[in-house]
Amino acid sequence: MQTQLVINGERRAGSDGDTVDVLNPANGELVATVAAGSVSDMVAACDAAAAAQKSWAKTAPRTRAELLRACYQVMVDNADMLADIIVAEHGKPKADALGEIAYAAEFFRWNSEETVRLHGTLGTNPAGTAKMIVHHPPVGVVLMVTPWNFPAAMITRKVAPALGAGNAVVIKPPKETPLTALALADLFEKEVGLPPGLINMVTTKSASKPVQAAMDHDAVRMVSFTGSTEVGRVLLHQAADRVLKVAMELGGNAPFIVFADADLDLAVEGAIAAKMRHSAETCTAANRFFVEEPVMEEFGQKLAAAMSAMKVAEGNTEGAQVGPLINQDAVDNVDRLVTSAVAGGATAVTGGSPVDGPGFFYPPTVLTGVRPDADVAREEIFGPVAPLIPFTDEDEMLAQANDTEMGLMGYVFTQDLARGLRVSEQVQAGMVGLNRGVVSDPAAPFGGMKQSGLGREGASEGIYEFCETQYIATNW
Ligand code: SIN
């Protein structure tokens, strides 16, 4: 496993000699010790990116596109090796890890296609006196701060469009899961032949000073972040000092709405996907289940049966469906939310307390009788807990569903399409799954409303996030 910083194509130890230990969440054992970068390492990475970006921006779009396509292929060819690293450092089941690699690789394929279609416009001004040329040059150097829940996909979703548009990048991978990121950098440089300095990676022990140094670096013109709203706000304040472009994929608190006319088996299948995908550690995860009163009991029973049947195990175990949470803090947080919901009158119909033994496991849990103002319904759970809240009135339910500062994701289940579309439009979220538990797709605009973020990743919009817009007025 590659454990060094990646700066200007070189593999380096941290200049201060710092390291971080990467632990396997399934047993708490050491997976690897990784170099941790200092402020000066971060500055060197930004310098390298600035130098590499100049010639990369002049490289023909077709050449850039073909290199991106080769990154897709190298990920597909090495899927098993990459998935093994994800299982070791993140803990998710191997099937989910393989699914993540396929998803992550697609961002390269999709953006290789977008790279040659990064068009501007040409028009005539209303007075008829000038031509208006609008085109989209790259931003320059982009700082990326990525999360641990998708160690590969949250990197490729940013890197592929950024490179396609002609930028160079400096990535601060999460200290919990840097090994996948470092392995990707090796594949892209050594197998695909991306130029040195185009992708730099600086894992850090403590992020604040190196990240601040990158944001203060003259060449850095954008910060792209996926993580909590709390950290996003801090980065937004810091970005303001140099008026950096920002892309923020922040927290969620998704309502999952089940109407009485829904196909309940489909709704349960959707609920399992929306809640439990990638060990329930996704920002799109269903966080609050609003279930129409007449089907509350039946839906609750079916969901509890499906959740309790899931196999909770170390990621390489045959048939594993739910891995450990990332660390003890995550287990403690889920435990706190469940304990306080139960103290407030909720009932755990399955699960409800941490699993004994090594590793950071928490069982799939269904809570009935949850009050809409309970902490478990107001905070992002990031764990395998489904709080069920009954409703009788659509407007009242929608008011509760939207009573959150988050607006990333929502789910609606009904067989009445007109109602489904009407309610979907009223859910204040950047993405809605209508009779679907998974919406993520490299061809779709991923992102949130309200305090869930700024900007979109994926789709055609995704590559434009990493571009400036320049307008040239002329006449001929
Ligand atoms: C996330 O949880 O941050 C991303 C989820 C996804 O891409 O589906």
pLDDT tens, 55-83?
999 999 999 999 999 999 999 999 999 99
- Under the banding of pLDDT at 50, 70 and 90, the label for residue 357 is confident
Residue 353 CA to ligand 1 centre (angstroms): 26
Residue nearest to atom 6 of ligand 1 (CA): 440
- Under the banding of pLDDT at 50, 70 and 90, the label for residue 403 is very high
Question: What pTM, to 2 d.p., does this model score?
Answer: 0.97
Residue 282 CA to ligand 1 centre (angstroms): 5
Residue 83 CA to ligand 1 centre (angstroms): 17
427-444 pLDDT per residue, tens:
999 999 999 999 999 999
Domain boundaries, the chain: 5-250+452-474, 254-441
Question: In sequence order, which residues have a C-beta less than 8 Å from that of residue 388 and are 6 or more positions away?
Answer: 289, 291, 296, 299, 300, 303, 366, 367, 368, 369, 370
284-322 pLDDT per residue, tens:
999 999 999 999 999 999 999 999 999 999 999 999 999
294-298: long-range pairs with CB below 8 Å, 24+: 294/260, 295/258, 295/260, 295/262, 295/264, 296/368, 296/388, 296/390, 298/264
Residue 181 CA to ligand 1 centre (angstroms): 16
Asked whether 48 and 66 are in contact (CB, 8 A), the reply is no
Question: Is a pLDDT exceeding 90 seen at residue 246?
Answer: yes
Which residue do the tokens 């309940």 mark?
264
The ligand 1 atom at the shortest distance from the C-alpha of residue 147 is: 3
Q: Does domain 5-250+452-474 have CATH number 3.40.30.10?
A: no
Residue 457 CA to ligand 1 centre (angstroms): 11
Q: Could you give the C-alpha distances from 150 to 85, 315, 376, 423, in angstroms and in order?
A: 12, 15, 23, 30
Give residue ranges with CB within 6 A of ligand 1.
149-150, 154, 226, 282-284, 440, 446
Asked whether 203 and 78 are in contact (CB, 8 A), the reply is no
User: Could you give phi then psi for residue 24, rounded to 5 degrees?
Assistant: -80, 115
Question: Is a pLDDT exceeding 90 seen at residue 5?
Answer: yes
Active site residues: 249, 283
- Under the banding of pLDDT at 50, 70 and 90, the label for residue 222 is very high
Among 67, 70, 235, 97, which Cα is nearest to 164's? 67
Question: Is a pLDDT exceeding 90 seen at residue 408?
Answer: yes
In a mutational test of the pocket of ligand 1, which residue from 282, 326, 432, 436 has the highest number of ligand atoms less than 8 Å from its CB? Answer: 282
In a mutational test of the pocket of ligand 1, which residue from 145, 231, 446, 456 has the highest number of ligand atoms less than 8 Å from its CB? Answer: 446
Residue nearest to atom 5 of ligand 1 (CA): 282
120-158 pLDDT per residue, tens:
999 999 999 999 999 999 999 999 999 999 999 999 999
Residue nearest to atom 7 of ligand 1 (CA): 440
Assigned token pair, 302: 């079916």
**What is the per-residue pLDDT for 138?**
98
179-208 pLDDT per residue, tens:
999 999 999 999 999 999 999 999 999 999
**What is the per-residue pLDDT for 297?**
97
Query: Between 3.30.1380.10, 3.30.460.40, 3.30.930.10, 3.40.309.10, what CATH number should domain 254-441 receive?
Result: 3.40.309.10
- Count of other CB atoms within 10 angstroms of residue 434: 17
Residue nearest to atom 3 of ligand 1 (CA): 283
- Under the banding of pLDDT at 50, 70 and 90, the label for residue 476 is confident
**What is the per-residue pLDDT for 161?**
98
The ligand 1 atom at the shortest distance from the C-alpha of residue 153 is: 7
Average pLDDT over residues 384-400: 98
Mapping DSSP to helix (H, G, I), strand (E, B) and coil, where does residue 136 land?
Answer: coil
Average pLDDT over residues 225-254: 98
- Under the banding of pLDDT at 50, 70 and 90, the label for residue 394 is very high
Q: Where do runs of H (alpha helix) occur along 384-430?
A: 394-401, 417-426
Among 197, 192, 154, which Cα is nearest to 69's? 192
Residue 456 CA to ligand 1 centre (angstroms): 12
Question: Is a pLDDT exceeding 90 seen at residue 272?
Answer: yes
In a mutational test of the pocket of ligand 1, which residue from 279, 284, 409 has the highest number of ligand atoms less than 8 Å from its CB? Answer: 284
**What is the per-residue pLDDT for 420?**
98
- Under the banding of pLDDT at 50, 70 and 90, the label for residue 371 is very high
